[in-house]
Structure 1
Amino acid sequence: MIYGNINNEFFEQQTAILPKPLQSALRFLKETDLANHEPGKFDISLNGVPAILQVLDLTTSPRETLRPEIHRKNIDVQFLAAGGPEEAGFYSDNGSYQTDEDLLDTPRDILFYHNDPDTAEGRIAMNVGTYAIYFPWDVHIPAIQSGSTAAPIRKIVVKVPMDACL
């Protein structure tokens, strides 16, 4: 997992060390007004690499109501374009977690795990401009409410094919 903010003074240095498709995804997030983009799912090209753009209007929820997820074919670049705050949970996939729903062989490329209260889970604060890059081994739980109050968010997800980064 990689975490940062497009407004960070080190953005260019942080971006430069990444594979080209992830560099393109982060620059797309920085240069595109996604807070005012129509919601939906869109096919895009990142310097010749086909990717998927999801523009989602969501409301954050208590952690216990959300399922941990992973993807195997795509790297998720998640970005908070507006609203919030939001928190995101994460932990490393060690292959021992109980599957709740497996949709990896569908166009959604997603697997949900059962919530396990004994799993050590990290948390990051997502404020406007914050991005998190989740690789296929990164279990993640997006859209967690910060504190006791739910908040509307404009969540952007750019799905970059894993094989384009190898």
Structure 2
Amino acid sequence: MAQEKHPECRKSAGDISIRTELRAGDAGYITFMHGRIYQKEYGYSTLFEAYVAKSFFDFLQNYDPSRDRLWCAEDGGTIIGCIGIAGHGDRAQLRWFLIEPEYRGLGLGKKLLSLAVDFARNRGYQTIYLDTTSDLTQAVGLYRKMGFEKVKETPNNSWKKGVTELEFSMDLS
């Protein structure tokens, strides 16, 4: 059975392209997306946007295409989704997983997550891990379906009161 498109989305998954080459402006635009979407959907403060900006700064300073990767899903040249892998020794950190709301429900999240996990596995990482929050119930469900297990829970009031930060991990060996 074909997956139904989001009612506000006139595009299908076939209209979306995914690229891996880093371009000028990607980090800024993806940081903007995170700030806008997380504020609107979850009430996160601008400190969350600062956290994302710092993580991109660190990523770009240490970027090694043989160990790190950023996937940008685009529609008409505009980024509408993303995910990244940042290598840390024998561990791969999954970062910046986000889909614009009107493009959710097309299978794009599953596609991006699969690409990232496959990349980490093919690069010889032993483990892939990620940090998320309990607010992101859809993403948490997808992580679990892909084989990630929750390994840590920590209160984090940095971006909004009452947030629980979750760490998920998956063995790739």
Q: Which TM-score band applies after superposition, normalised by the shorter structure?
A: under 0.3
Identify, as 1 or 2, the structure richer in helix: 2
Query: Per chain length, whose mean CA-contact separation is higher, i.e. which structure has more relative contact order (CA < 8 Å, sep 6+)?
Result: 1
- After TM superposition, the score normalised by the length of structure 1 is 0.27
